[in-house]
Structure 1
Amino acid sequence: MRWCDETTIRGYGIPGLLLMEQAGRGVAEIAARHYGPLDGKDVLVFCGKGNNGGDGLVVARHLLNMGASLQVVLLAPPGQLEGDAKTNFAILFKLARAHRTALKIQRYSSRLLTRRKKPDLIIDAIFGTGFSGDVRAPLGQVMTWINAQRVPVIAVDIPSGVNGTTGVAGKNAVLATRTVTFGLLKTGLLCNQGQDYCGKIDVLDIGIPPVVQKAKNLGTFLIESGDVKSVLPRRSSTAHKYSAGKVLVLAGSKGFTGAAYLCTLAALRTGAGAVLLATPESVYPVLARRLAEAIVTPFPATADGTLALASLPALQEKLKWADVLVIGPGLSTNVETQEMIRTILTTFHGNAVVDADALRVIAALGLGETARLKAKFILTPH
């Protein structure tokens, strides 16, 4: 995202001040939409010394225009502000003189927060997406105080203390109710602890041209429902369950009926026309009662209640029927069952999703023998 900002400013002549204005105004509008009306509301804005803090200064100005009562806490001396952040501080400082009661700008001190009553809303503009590591004092105490207030917190671009790329959260990272991120989603909001700290996410267009975003090969994307829908086949008006995908599920054993149940149900819910669950006769009554839509078929079981090697001939006939094989969930590590799985995996030539106990067989085969397998496998990250 930093590359996009710099290219927009230097390559296309769009001032950084304009991007900061769009960002700050957008955050204020989202605050009003979700936590308004803001007239008379007590809003506390924390601003760091970088561009994230500059965004916070713009947020404060627009919240002031909406009638909020503002306290802006600077976490660095004004003399350390640079560029667009410095410009926006100068604007806000002049407004503070004209709004002596509605807008206060103060340097942080430990006493400042110990005496303060709980605000209606907090704006977190302390650190941006480039942060990494743990937060040092006194900022750590500030962020601990923010988290202790139990009031709505809007994070500007990313919650302070969360790494924008990895999502790793430093000690005392801000727990936001809502995060307004600029231009594009940040990977740090979607992975590791980041997703626990960001609350609800709004992606705000701040005026970066689409051509800039397309010019950068980001290499990361988020799969959404529209992406999945675009690759799903359309069903014919004359389709029936046996023409809409036949799935054979080899799953379950004594003590592990849940794995077989959930896997079979998932196959049905994702649109398979017919799903046949092959499971040990020891657990057949339990699963047959719960899976009314599936074809649940019992097969010979070992003394441990797992699929026996004697099941193999009948299972190989079912494999001829299936378009897709799902194998592994809850099958167990029983030696006889593992040998049955090995025989199927080394002789099957179709499409297969391999999970759980079947992955143990793949691991035991080794890279050389696995490379010679004929089936088209999807291996789950078990």
Structure 2
Amino acid sequence: MQELFGGEIKIINIIIIIKVPLLGNNENNVNKLKGNNGGDGLVCARHLKLFGYNVTICYPKRTDKEIYKRLLNQCVEMDIEVIKNYEGISAEDIRKNYALVVDALFGFGFRGPLRAPFDSIIKELTDSKVKLCSIDVPSGWNIDSEEGSVGNESLIQPTMLISLTAPKLCSKNFKNCHYLAGRFLPPKLEKDFNLNLPCTPPGKLFMKI
């Protein structure tokens, strides 16, 4: 946070935009069932609140999955504001009310073109010009391409990217602030897949790459 805002900061307002998988197995719902960072966004909200930040969660499409209900309940019990619709997410409102956006919409499982309402949401986020931090994968990026968002300025251009476990291919040429977090990978698995991950300093949960 200090790197994003330059030196020591006090209290800022943060909005976290999340999506979680809905129930069902209909093939027409592939975009709804795959590729989300909603759980990470809810955990992020709780931790930011504990660190003293003013946090708002934008979470319109709810799920009956128990794990997400519990994560959301933890946030509600901590008096974190939850917005129940995307209609209030305009570039002007974001500029006026928030210093930072956390992008927790689509994860590494997302495939295919952006559909409503997420295409318009991402447009509002990019038009706001507010500092933005993406969790694991910037929403809408082609995870299988080294190009990332090259040639498509309508996609999210994060100020900071926090890759989880391992950087994804789409972030290969990412030039802004980039961190690797989440020491979840067993050494044997890292060796089997020849990942060559950077060595995280002892006692640290993240590192700048």
Q: TM-score, normalising length from structure 1?
A: 0.42
**How far, CA to CA, are the matches of 1:75 and 1:206 in structure 2?**
31
Higher helix share: 1
**How far, CA to CA, are the matches of 2:139 and 2:4 in structure 1?**
21
Which of 161, 184, 189 lines up with 1:212 in the alignment? 189
**How far, CA to CA, are the matches of 1:95 and 1:43 in structure 2?**
14
Corresponding residue SS for 1:113: coil
The alignment-based identity, stated in percent, is 23
The structure, 1 or 2, with the larger RCO (C-alpha pairs under 8 Å, 6+ apart) is: 2
Aligned residue for 1:139?
118
Please state if 1:49 is matched with 2:28: no
Structure 1 letter corresponding to 2:188? V
**How far, CA to CA, are the matches of 2:50 and 2:118 in structure 1?**
28
Aligned residue for 2:169?
187
**How far, CA to CA, are the matches of 1:131 and 1:124 in structure 2?**
14
Shift of residue 87, structure 1, vs aligned partner:
2.4
Shift of residue 173, structure 1, vs aligned partner:
2.1
**How far, CA to CA, are the matches of 1:65 and 1:40 in structure 2?**
12
**How far, CA to CA, are the matches of 2:129 and 2:153 in structure 1?**
18
Aligned residue for 2:86?
109
| Residue 210 to residue 75, structure 1, CA distance change in 2 (3 Å) | farther
Aligned residue for 2:33?
none
Which of 100, 123, 137 lines up with 2:102 in the alignment? 123
CA contact (8 A) 2:17 2:103 kept: yes
| Residue 65 to residue 38, structure 1, CA distance change in 2 (3 Å) | farther
Aligned residue for 2:144?
165
Aligned residue for 2:49?
64
Aligned residue for 1:176?
158
Aligned residue for 2:24?
none
CA contact (8 A) 2:56 2:82 kept: yes
**How far, CA to CA, are the matches of 1:60 and 1:182 in structure 2?**
17
**How far, CA to CA, are the matches of 1:108 and 1:171 in structure 2?**
26
Shift of residue 90, structure 1, vs aligned partner:
2.0
Structure 2 letter corresponding to 1:178? M
Structure 1 runs not aligned, ≥5 long:
1-30, 223-382
Corresponding residue SS for 1:203: strand
Structure 2 letter corresponding to 1:87? I
Shift of residue 88, structure 1, vs aligned partner:
5.0
Q: TM-score, normalising length from structure 2?
A: 0.72
**How far, CA to CA, are the matches of 1:94 and 1:204 in structure 2?**
23
Shift of residue 75, structure 1, vs aligned partner:
4.5
| Residue 136 to residue 205, structure 1, CA distance change in 2 (3 Å) | same
Structure 1 letter corresponding to 2:159? T
Equivalences, count? 176
**How far, CA to CA, are the matches of 1:91 and 1:43 in structure 2?**
18
Shift of residue 54, structure 1, vs aligned partner:
0.7
**How far, CA to CA, are the matches of 2:41 and 2:168 in structure 1?**
19
**How far, CA to CA, are the matches of 1:88 and 1:137 in structure 2?**
23
CA contact (8 A) 2:143 2:169 kept: yes
Shift of residue 98, structure 1, vs aligned partner:
4.4
Structure 1 letter corresponding to 2:59? L
Shift of residue 155, structure 1, vs aligned partner:
0.4
Shift of residue 43, structure 1, vs aligned partner:
0.1
Aligned residue for 2:70?
90
Larger radius of gyration: 1
Corresponding residue SS for 2:89: helix
Please state if 1:40 is matched with 2:11: yes
Cα distance per residue 1:130-189 (max 9 Å; x no partner): 223321111111111111111210000011000222145478421100100012221111
CA contact (8 A) 2:59 2:85 kept: yes
CA contact (8 A) 1:129 1:165 kept: no
CA contact (8 A) 2:164 2:181 kept: yes
Shift of residue 211, structure 1, vs aligned partner:
1.8
